[in-house]
Amino acid sequence: MVTIDLSQTEITDANNRIRDCGRDGQDVEIINPDARHNIGVGLVDPITVNVQGSAGYFCGGLSDGAHYEIEHNAGWAVGDNIYSGSVVVGGNAGAIAGVAIRGAEIVVRGNMGSRAGQVMKAGTLCCGGNAAFMAGYMMYGGRIIILGNGAAKVGQDMSAGEIFVGGKIESLGNDTIIVDMEAGERDEIMEFLERYKMSYKGDFTKVVSAGKKLRYANSEPRSRPQPFFVSSNSSNYWNPKVQEDIWIKGEVGRYRIRGYGASKPVPHLNDIAFVKDVTSRQYKSEELQDVNLKTTVGGRYGAKPLSLSMPVMIAPMSFGALSRSVKIALARASRLSGISENTGEGGMLDEQREEADQLIFQCLSGRLGWNVKDMQRADAIEIYISQGAKPGLGGQLMAKKVTPELAAIRGIPQGIDLRSPSRHPDVLGADDLVIKVEEFREATMHKVPLGIKMGAGRVNDDIKIAYKDGFDFVELDGLQGSTGAASTEVLENVGIPTLSAVQEAIDGLQEIDAGDDMDLVMMGGIKDGVDVVKMLALGADCTSVGTSAIIAGGCIACMQCHVGTCPVGIATQDKEHEARYDIDLQSQNMHRYFESLRWQIASITKALGYDDVHKVSRDDLVALTPEAADITGLPLLSEHPVLNRPELGLEVLDRKAG
């Protein structure tokens, strides 16, 4: 038994020692814990950690196989996301005890706070006392046993699993029902209680999902493929597209769902041009080799940054929205071009990990497929707050795509219309996020860069929070960002354009003198190397491409990604459809597309007179429209100080570029 005194040891050092003990198979006791956060986070060996006192937030979180005994109280999210192992809390537990567990046993001998077992997938959460409101909120599976009373909204919006309440239930949550216990269930509970030396003689009330809201009442009908340019058509008001939309709404009685992003025209990078006369510059094509495009992302706090061959990443897209084959092809193309791939929501595939040299692992609100082992083999971690296609909403995955294989990796019931939560269970504000960031750092030994993915809404405020909360990088997604499924109202009308987003981000960071240590990755409608250079000139450090990569890899932009029967095998989980996808061919197509970006970025950089793409600046840009000038603060073409004084000539700028 090794003793660690937290009054003498910083939590990071303590967790490193606990991990060492895990490797040696030695148990640990923690003295003077005094409710400190993140005790024992990220442990993947089956030792016992005895906390002699109270623990703070996330005790035992993101672990697999270990056993924790907390002699007194535990703070928020005790046992967060544990795969296997156990946590026993001698006293009370705060909110969201057992959040997102995938198989652990969590026992709270006293009372537990609100939203216990939120988005849990498997395992048992047991409470000797009373559970505060919304116990089992949005749970996907597993078992909650409450020996005392259950406060309001027991089982709110649960998809599956069972909740057994010994005492009174104040009220049931949405879409739940009380059913009789099945034969043997009581014996199983009693066996569990006996193992943890809890005595109980009374009866139980069993609460399960009523199952009325697991599917949309009316499925989104399969409409004719709607080419992007038709959907963007605004030439006449009541055009056939609008008519079809109204007819379908008359049929389904709700909002429409589709893939892709905003299809209406908004001010974008096309409304900006390079200010210099690039044709006057002569250079040999070999010289392009010497232009520095190398980009590192995420080195702010000393983690090993992503090292990209050019300022381009592949945007987060899930296995789920996309087929396994496409995720493999994307990973391969990313390796061939020396850029990074991103898991998106829904877990990491082994093949994807093997193919990609640099892989970002994304954590979403539903914690679908989220686990410590994949965190520790990721090259960067990204907390998803929202995305440009649907700021403020969770993902949607229609039942056709929720196959047994997909349900297994995500830990959810198969065949439901999956509507991911819009909020993280343990991040209800910037203050909670600080502690979450620390938990992720602890789970990855502070070695992995940590990013935040945000849809562009109130960027000026949000970017400051991201900076203060200690992220290494931000992936910021404008209105034009795409998705596999979202309501058209949100796709078209919520959020601000990518161009506004980058400007607000840069302004916001300047307002708090943030310097340039937090990397800004811009996405949402980046279609070529020209856009990449413009974005960097506006102030971004890197860009991210999703839709354009998919189009390079065979997508026909019919926008029916949500249906699940993608004709080219991309946005589908149907094996027959997926078989149409040629991984070798399409990964090469994507790779060549990425190489075209490289050539464009290098050529423009060189033509602007630089040997490094990170030297381009706002001075290289001019706004072509009043809207773009207004958004970015760039000079409008007709008012440009140099362009409108021909007597000065362009040499002025040339000298500046030096």
Partner 1 sequence: MCGIAGVLYKQAGDHEIGKTLIEMLDGCQHRGPDSTGFALYGEDKDQLQLRFIVPTETQARQKAVDNIASLLARHGATIESEQSVGCSYQIAVNFEGDLLRFTKDIEEHAKLVSVGHTLDIIKDDGTAHELDSTYQVGEVKGTHGIGHVRLATESAVRPEAAHPFWATGFEDIAIVHNGQITNYWKMRRRLERRGFTFHTDNDSELVAVYLADKLKQGETLDHVLETAIADLDGTFSFLVSTPNEIGYAKDNLAAKPMVLYETDDMIAIASEEVSLNRLFPGQSINSTEPAPGTFQTWSRSI
Instruction: Give the interface with partner 1 as residue ranges (CB under 8 A).
Output: 7, 31-32, 34-37, 53-54, 56-57, 71-73, 75-76, 91-92, 94-95, 113-115, 132-133, 151, 428-432, 434-435, 438, 458, 461, 464-465, 468-469, 512
3-state secondary structure of 292: strand
Nearer to partner 1, 460 or 488 (CB): 460
d(CA 215, CA 194): 38
Q: What does the block give as tokens for 70?
A: 């907390």
**Which neighbouring-strand residues pair with 74?**
55, 93
Give the closest residue to 316 by CA, choosing from 138, 149, 454, 203.
Answer: 454
Nearer to partner 1, 76 or 594 (CB): 76
Shortest CB 467 distance to partner 1, Å: 11
Residue matched to tokens 């020996």 = 147
Strands 272-274 and 621-623: antiparallel
d(CA 21, CA 67): 13
d(CA 188, CA 182): 11
| Type and span of the H or E element at 102 | strand 102-108
d(CA 619, CA 635): 9
Nearer to partner 1, 277 or 461 (CB): 461
Shortest CB 169 distance to partner 1, Å: 16
Nearer to partner 1, 345 or 472 (CB): 472
| Core vs surface per residue 290-320: b (16+ CB within 10 A) or e | ebebebbbbbbeebebbbbebbbbbbbbbbb
Give the closest residue to 457 by CA, choosing from 406, 373, 391.
Answer: 391
Shortest CB 388 distance to partner 1, Å: 21
Nearer to partner 1, 134 or 561 (CB): 134
d(CA 502, CA 44): 40
| Type and span of the H or E element at 506 | helix 498-511
Shortest CB 154 distance to partner 1, Å: 14
d(CA 323, CA 419): 19
d(CA 316, CA 450): 14
Shortest CB 252 distance to partner 1, Å: 31
Q: What angle do CA 564, 570, 575 make, to 5 degrees?
A: 65
Contacts of 551 (CB under 8 A, 6+ apart): 557
Shortest CB 504 distance to partner 1, Å: 14
**Residue 190 and residue 222 in contact, taking contact as beta carbons nearer than 8 Å:** no
Shortest CB 200 distance to partner 1, Å: 23
Nearer to partner 1, 186 or 464 (CB): 464
Nearer to partner 1, 409 or 430 (CB): 430
d(CA 587, CA 593): 10
Nearer to partner 1, 133 or 593 (CB): 133
Nearer to partner 1, 501 or 526 (CB): 501
Shortest CB 56 distance to partner 1, Å: 5
Name the phi and psi angles at 131, rounded to 5.
Answer: -110, 130
Q: What does the block give as tokens for 57?
A: 């937030």
Give the closest residue to 583 by CA, choosing from 593, 594, 596, 570.
Answer: 570
Shortest CB 34 distance to partner 1, Å: 4
Shortest CB 7 distance to partner 1, Å: 7
Give the closest residue to 377 by CA, choosing from 447, 291, 305, 288.
Answer: 447
**Residue 477 and residue 344 in contact, taking contact as beta carbons nearer than 8 Å:** no
Nearer to partner 1, 44 or 135 (CB): 135
Shortest CB 131 distance to partner 1, Å: 11
Q: What does the block give as tokens for 368?
A: 């679908």
Strands 102-108 and 122-127: parallel
Nearer to partner 1, 105 or 462 (CB): 462
Nearer to partner 1, 125 or 132 (CB): 132
Shortest CB 469 distance to partner 1, Å: 8
Nearer to partner 1, 513 or 651 (CB): 513
Is the dihedral angle over the CA atoms 388, 391, 394, 398 positive or is it negative?
negative
Nearer to partner 1, 347 or 508 (CB): 508
**Which neighbouring-strand residues pair with 384?**
453
Q: What does the block give as tokens for 460?
A: 């000026």
Chain mean position to CA 155: 25
Shortest CB 97 distance to partner 1, Å: 11
d(CA 567, CA 462): 39
Shortest CB 114 distance to partner 1, Å: 4
